Structure 1
């Protein structure tokens, strides 16, 4: 009996020890990633080295470490970790060939670089032979590579006119990539890992994730991803990111805590509001994501897990703020102070998940009425903003729109026509992506 107890205690000890080691490793990698973003390459290397004493890196982490060593002009370690990345499964040879982080190796150690580049293409060729749709993978990876090249050119641009020109190219590239992604969704649904590989699927996700100008398409793509949940054909981390992105674009709270707030200086400061925040770490754990505390480190801010009581109190205060703003807006509306009405409604709308569908519909009615009495087009636009959000949330019906007489002033607006058409053709729209 005593020996059984000792065995159980030993197993528990090693389980806890492994969990603690993994947590320390993840924290160190997160800090290395932060210093990477801050271009403090020596500090990034220091944290990578500490982490690798605990655990050998996977392919992506080894690749990132190699890039830091290259930027620090340490060719021996850079090549060592590139070899490790390749042996661990790194497969994006085209990206490696372009990656500006390795310019030092390309120029100073050209012969060695050619050898490792050849090895990378050989590894990629072997990997492609295991996939069902290798040509589609190549196509997707090429789209994202071209996009990244443009963004790198923008960073290197030295004049405003050059940056403006590249911005136009980036916009065209984004539109082209999204249109391409739509065709792929129509033909294949969400491409599976067995079809285009992990890297191909990740690059496809990047195109969709950044298509914020087309939230409707993001919703369609998310539904396509959901069909693969519970299989080994999808990267659940990417699913979590897109789910949260769509939620935030619909002005709901996020679920997985993947989206952060950014300051005017371009620094992450906190997580965007999370639904039932006290449950988030458990939800993340189910799909293999690190805790919010560790994830926050990658962005350079500190996060402390909150209790159910703290979460509920935070939610109550949040709702009270939104209600106060909406109540104030309505008071100003009754006083005929329409700009102030807008100011308070606009403030309320910035709270993710703060305004319900009913609140948004009421706001659309109010601003339609204001447009009727003020003859100012901007209030039509504001009313249509609220209605468009409800359309994206799939909370509008033809009867609901036509029943409200205040909306008559919007009937000739192109956005109204588009929303009305979208509501009537919703079934057709969804079918076009099946």
Structure 2
């Protein structure tokens, strides 16, 4: 399966694990397994797990909708319609998403009259729901943006023709950029869209657009700051804040806090959590905002997780710090020996450890690579120096005064230098 599409589908599935006030580990575990089987196109096991979960507690609108998708893909029209109707009764309001959802293609030709009636009911429900919102037009705009991107990613996952896939990826890139610019304009005009303004689905789709905007970390930071202003109210989902907070932390190469981000292999498999600060208390943080414990959450990605105690967590943190310091010491020794490729490798590896290098160490690394670039004239050393400076700028850890060191003069003709310097005060 296409890796980017898998990540998108996981984002669409994961909010269903937000249990709210009533927390049930068995229910969440069954839902997590159902979601994973669904992604793996193992519809029989997905259905089994959905029904196992629903025997514990009735589904909400989102999980009823997802169960309907599993049944439709399994060519069980009766059960698919049952759960779709239940989803509408429970508050599924996105009629456009329903009409375009490829999972329900089977229903459209197997029972066209029943499908049309269902769509009419969905449209009527959505129209009634829209009248309760402060900004229904904004909700519609956000949902259309998310739907356009989701459809393209679904096409990419289903396409085997290289030429067609290349065209679809170009469209994904273009649409993603357009969506990001629109989302930035929305954030600037309205702030973080509230539930009373755009509904839970509109807010969830806006969060998805921001969460995917890794190419624009300042935008993610601005969105996080805006959400933070209302995070203690009922106007936003605390799970959205947790996911975006961790996303920004990881993009800034810090440890995450809520354990929402995972490591991915080149084959598109999740194999564990990215570094978590004070990992031993993460489940306590997650429960406080209605997220399932890490062991349950891991099931939705297909790997297992064993909780750790404080001693184990400290040992892991100490080991990473020791590794980072060892790499920095090796880099310093290699620099004295003018073994510049080794300097590059050591600093590059140290920089991949979350929180492994302080801001001061990163600034010093940038200086060293500028000196190496001056001596060798090689572009790779300028590039890595700019990488360090860019990260420091995103962390708000440098100023224009910081860049007045003579070593940085070699970077001043680089396009990225102008971009970094221009964002500083």
Question: Do both share a fold (TM > 0.5)?
Answer: yes
Distance 1:80 1:379 in 2: 61
In the alignment, which residue of structure 1 is the partner of 2:243?
241
> TM-score of the superposition, structure 2-length normalised?
0.93
| 1:235-384 correspondence to structure 2 within 5 Å | 235-384=237-386
Q: How many angstroms does 1:156 deviate by?
A: 2.8
- Unaligned 5+ segments in structure 2 are 1-20
Q: How many angstroms does 1:360 deviate by?
A: 0.7
| 1:406 has 2:382 as partner | no
1:197–1:21: structure 2 CA closer, same or farther, 3 Å change rule? closer
In the alignment, which residue of structure 1 is the partner of 2:5?
none
Structure 1 residues 186-245: Cα deviation after superposition (integer angstroms, max 9, x where no partner): 111111111111101111111111011111111111101111111011111111111111
User: Cα RMSD between the aligned structures?
Assistant: 1.3
In the alignment, which residue of structure 2 is the partner of 1:397?
399
Distance 1:259 1:347 in 2: 20
CA contact (8 A) 1:21 1:54 kept: no
In the alignment, which residue of structure 1 is the partner of 2:63?
61
2:271 aligned counterpart, secondary structure: strand
- Runs of 4+ residues deviating >3 angstroms: none
1:21–1:346: structure 2 CA closer, same or farther, 3 Å change rule? closer
Structure 1 residues 63-108: Cα deviation after superposition (integer angstroms, max 9, x where no partner): 0001101111111111111111111111111011011111111111
1:299–1:143: structure 2 CA closer, same or farther, 3 Å change rule? same
Q: How many angstroms does 1:20 deviate by?
A: 11
Structure 1 residues 258-300: Cα deviation after superposition (integer angstroms, max 9, x where no partner): 0001122211110000011011111111111110010001111
| 1:67-78 correspondence to structure 2 within 5 Å | 67-78=69-80
Distance 2:317 2:156 in 1: 41
In the alignment, which residue of structure 1 is the partner of 2:191?
189
Distance 1:215 1:53 in 2: 42
- Greater RCO, 1 or 2 (C-alpha within 8 Å, sep 6+): 2
Distance 1:128 1:300 in 2: 37
Distance 1:385 1:148 in 2: 31
Distance 1:50 1:149 in 2: 30
Distance 1:169 1:25 in 2: 38
Alignment length, in residue pairs?
405
1:68 aligned counterpart, secondary structure: helix
Q: How many angstroms does 1:149 deviate by?
A: 1.5
In the alignment, which residue of structure 1 is the partner of 2:6?
none
Q: How many angstroms does 1:157 deviate by?
A: 2.6
- Unaligned 5+ segments in structure 1 are 1-18, 425-434
In the alignment, which residue of structure 1 is the partner of 2:86?
84
Distance 1:289 1:21 in 2: 8
Q: How many angstroms does 1:158 deviate by?
A: 3.3
2:103 to 89, 101, 119: 101
CA contact (8 A) 1:357 1:390 kept: yes
CA contact (8 A) 2:231 2:237 kept: no
1:231 to 230, 233, 241: 233
2:24 aligned counterpart, secondary structure: helix
> TM-score of the superposition, structure 1-length normalised?
0.92
| 1:84-233 correspondence to structure 2 within 5 Å | 84-233=86-235
Distance 2:194 2:307 in 1: 35
In the alignment, which residue of structure 1 is the partner of 2:421?
420
